[in-house]
Amino acid sequence: MKHSTRVVLGMSASVIAAALMLSGCSSSSPTSKTAKGLTKVTLQLQWVPQAQFAGYYAAVANGYYKKEGLDVTIKPAGTDTVPINVVAKGQADYAISWVPKVLGSIAQGVNVTDVAQIYERSGTTQISFKDKGITSPADLAGKKVGSWGYGNQWELFAGMQKAGVNTTSGIKLVQQAFDMKGFLAGDIDAAQAMTYNEYAQVLETVNPKTGKLYQPSDLNVINWNDDGTAMLQDAIWADTNKLKDKTFDATTVKFVKASIEGWVFARDNPAKAAGIVTKAGSTLGTSHQLWMTNEVNKLIWPSTEGIGVIRSSLWDQTVKIAEATKDNTGATIISKAPPASAYSNTYVDEALKELKAEGVDVMGSSWKPITVTLNAGGK
């Protein structure tokens, strides 16, 4: 009897403790203003500071946000941060995330809207050494194919399936780490690589055969933009319900406008933009940072319909791939199309109108990339 009393007491104490913990979880985030009358805005990135986010850092450093009446805090992400959840919980006002990843979150009930599609093109490629003879997705059949997983694999699988490669038995799928050692050591024949990061990591490594750095001529690159299986990447996302609020609505136009100004600055001053990112706390090597700025510019400029505009053709392509592509686990990202509220050009159209009136070039039609020389180790 005494023993059972103790057990009952113990259990009830546990239940009370759990209830207390759960009741503590509630969220609210009213828009607040600073002493100077600026509206406080938080932007959640999808990774640590690097030139992938150069435009936002440039907009902070050059006061573009302040000019629009915003006091922007940029939050870097860790390995376990899901940017879209941070926005959904009201802990940030905007997040940068890839569209396919967010489509998965939307399918699970998160209400968010793509308010500006900063990257028009995809930076994901599949690279291999020339001697492997992999020049098209069909050539991946029977090869050791590297994939990061975690929602970064869909373009690769879409490309292989389009080329008729059996992605369960026709390839040897290798889990790829976030460095290129596996590729360089030959564990992976064709590795996933972002044009602005991993591709450069290979080109910063000394080729033991020549004693010099690896050259682009040593590599074959499958670019998913050319293959037609590219999916939309870095976009600015906001909470759909919060956008119904008139004040937040206006803040969003201002935020998108100033962010675009930042990206225009990064386009016209890549070296300065890279310097701003390094100053903001990035420890990437100097030549690597500049390379990243330049490659990211290529994903934005020249812009087809104006930077930030969500092109319906590319959105539909992304959704179609998200519905139809099965990865190695047999799963698709979504089973039905996302709601119409998943993207809106309202804010970016307004922002572009204002910028054009101010004489800002938001198309970059005559923009040409610079030539960046990578040094060993990205230094």
Cβ contact 295:195 at 8 Å: yes
**Six token digits for residue 41:** 């805005």
Of 11 and 19, the one with the shorter C-beta distance to other proteins is: 11
Pairing assessment for the beta strands 70-75 and 235-239 based on DSSP bridges: unpaired
Smallest gap from residue 152 Cβ to other proteins (A): 15
Q: What angle do CA 227, 378, 56 make, to 5 degrees?
A: 70
Q: What's the rounded Cα separation, in Å, for the pair 56 and 313?
A: 26
33 DSSP assignment = B
Of 275 and 308, the one with the shorter C-beta distance to other proteins is: 275
Task: Tell me which residues touch other proteins (CB under 8 A).
Answer: 6-7, 9-11, 13-14, 17, 24-25, 27-28, 47-49, 76-82, 85-86, 89, 91, 178-181, 184-185, 197, 201-202, 204-206, 278, 281-289, 375-379
Q: Based on DSSP, count helices (H) and strands (E) in the chain, helices before strands.
A: 14, 10
Of 271 and 360, the one with the shorter C-beta distance to other proteins is: 271
| C-alpha closest to that of 62 among 297, 370, 275 | 275
Smallest gap from residue 96 Cβ to other proteins (A): 13
Of 105 and 318, the one with the shorter C-beta distance to other proteins is: 105
206 DSSP assignment = B
Q: For residue 194, what are the β-bridge partners?
A: 124
Of 80 and 358, the one with the shorter C-beta distance to other proteins is: 80
Q: Return the percent helix, strand and coil in the chain, to nearest 5.
A: 45, 15, 40
Residue 52 CB: number of other CB atoms within 10 A?
26
Smallest gap from residue 37 Cβ to other proteins (A): 19
Residue 195 CB: number of other CB atoms within 10 A?
23
Of 57 and 157, the one with the shorter C-beta distance to other proteins is: 57
Smallest gap from residue 57 Cβ to other proteins (A): 13
Smallest gap from residue 299 Cβ to other proteins (A): 18
- Residue type at 286 in one-letter notation: T
Smallest gap from residue 308 Cβ to other proteins (A): 26
Of 48 and 107, the one with the shorter C-beta distance to other proteins is: 48
Q: What's the rounded Cα separation, in Å, for the pair 51 and 291?
A: 9
Q: Which residues contact 210 (CB under 8 A, 6 or more apart)?
A: none
**Six token digits for residue 203:** 């080109």
Smallest gap from residue 262 Cβ to other proteins (A): 20
Of 76 and 151, the one with the shorter C-beta distance to other proteins is: 76
Smallest gap from residue 131 Cβ to other proteins (A): 17
Smallest gap from residue 237 Cβ to other proteins (A): 17
Q: What's the rounded Cα separation, in Å, for the pair 309 and 349?
A: 7
| C-alpha closest to that of 292 among 52, 45, 49 | 52
DSSP string, 40-83: EEEEE-SSSSSGGGHHHHHHHHTTHHHHTTEEEEEEP--TT--H
Of 33 and 181, the one with the shorter C-beta distance to other proteins is: 181
Of 306 and 378, the one with the shorter C-beta distance to other proteins is: 378
Cβ contact 65:59 at 8 Å: yes
Smallest gap from residue 72 Cβ to other proteins (A): 16
